[in-house]
Amino acid sequence: MPKRSAPDTLLLGEVPERLSATLAEGGLAVRRAAGWREAGGTTGVDVLVTASHIVVTAADLGRMVALRVLARAAAGTDNVDLEATQARGIRFVHAPEANAQSAAELTMTLLFAAARGLAFHSTQLREGSWSRGELTGLELSGKRIGIVGLGRVGSRVARMARAIPMCAGAYDPFIPDERFAEHGCEKIASLDELAARSDVLTVHCPLTANTRLMLRFEQLALLPSGAIVLNVARGGIIDEVALAQLCASGHVRACGIDCWSEEPPPLENPLLALPAGKLVATPHMGARTREARDRVADETAYGIFAALRELGLL
């Protein structure tokens, strides 16, 4: 019986080196490329592994006639045409659990930074100003946090917030009632009601056709005066122009933004025009911890090997 050739495996983008090494040790023929342009020929690729910023369209899949496994070394699925993947019978793998803790911790980091004006005070101090009285902080104990999406990240945020302690409420029509009780969250019937009752509003849902711009000016304006808004989920869920307007007017105290509608955000993005006391900004780094990167590598590798064994390719 002829020896089976090693599956041709292409890694696109900033895929963890740990994943590359694990796949090679497991018998896959691994090559890396920064993106589609650098990848060259893809016709014979059996396994495609992409980093979070790489977009995979139906046209891309159409050129990869040998593709059997598509893996995303990340939690989300919004950069992949899943319908085209399923239509081709390609196995899809990702790491939905891997970065939940790191994303939740960044959410709380942004919350504390926004509440205490840390970006403002750090900037002032570096510029030689000892301006302790110019921006007074906000204590979070006893405040109400509203969570959009009570999944892997949102549920962790709820538990962390309760330890402050904050009162937690959540809107998620896809989560059963018992999960709300399990995480100590009050179930809120609508997004409008959640906004109206939240001193802090934080987003933890995927970007889909239904969630794109789900938080517009009308919903954000329902927030109590002085509220804080956080996004460590996906850009495009919150209307950034509306949020910037409400921050500039003072209705929203401050925002912490890790995910942007366009990444990197152009300098003309109105949120970037806000003063340091109104904005804490990070470059989509919710999963950028050593621990999360290792878990992404391990979960993705496990899924790839399992899929290849089921297909008889290993």
Catalytic residue among 263, 290, 309, 310: 263
Q: Is the Cα torsion angle 288, 291, 296, 297 positive or negative in sign?
A: positive
Statement: residue 6 has pLDDT above 70 = yes
- The Cα 76–Cα 314 span in angstroms is 27
Statement: residue 193 has pLDDT above 60 = yes
Percent above pLDDT 90 for the chain: 93
Please indicate whether residue 284 is annotated as part of the active site. yes
Statement: residue 284 has pLDDT above 70 = yes
pLDDT of res. 3: 53
- The Cα 58–Cα 88 span in angstroms is 10
For residue 157, what are the contacts with CB-CB under 8 A and spacing of at least 6?
104, 107, 108, 145, 147, 202, 204
Statement: residue 210 has pLDDT above 70 = yes
- The Cα 22–Cα 17 span in angstroms is 9
**Average pLDDT over every residue of 77-100:** 94
Catalytic residue among 68, 121, 204, 284: 284
What's the pLDDT band for 4 if we cut at 50, 70, 90? low
**What separation in angstroms does the CA of 15 have from each of 52, 64, 66?**
8, 20, 21
Please indicate whether residue 53 is annotated as part of the active site. no
Statement: residue 1 has pLDDT above 50 = no
Tens of pLDDT along 31-63?
999 999 999 889 999 999 999 889 999 999 999
How high is the mean pLDDT of the chain? 95
Tens of pLDDT along 227-259?
999 999 999 999 999 999 999 999 999 999 999
**Average pLDDT over every residue of 141-156:** 97
Statement: residue 224 has pLDDT above 80 = yes
pTM: 0.91
Statement: residue 137 has pLDDT above 90 = yes
**Average pLDDT over every residue of 288-302:** 96
**Average pLDDT over every residue of 189-216:** 96
Q: Is the Cα torsion angle 13, 15, 17, 20 positive or negative in sign?
A: negative
What's the pLDDT band for 14 if we cut at 50, 70, 90? very high
- The Cα 12–Cα 207 span in angstroms is 22
Please indicate whether residue 263 is annotated as part of the active site. yes
pLDDT of res. 133: 81
**DSSP class of 157:** H
pLDDT of res. 42: 92
- The Cα 136–Cα 133 span in angstroms is 6
Helix (H, G, I), strand (E, B) or coil at 57: coil
Statement: residue 144 has pLDDT above 70 = yes
Catalytic residue among 234, 253, 293, 295: 234
pLDDT of res. 52: 83
Helix (H, G, I), strand (E, B) or coil at 83: helix
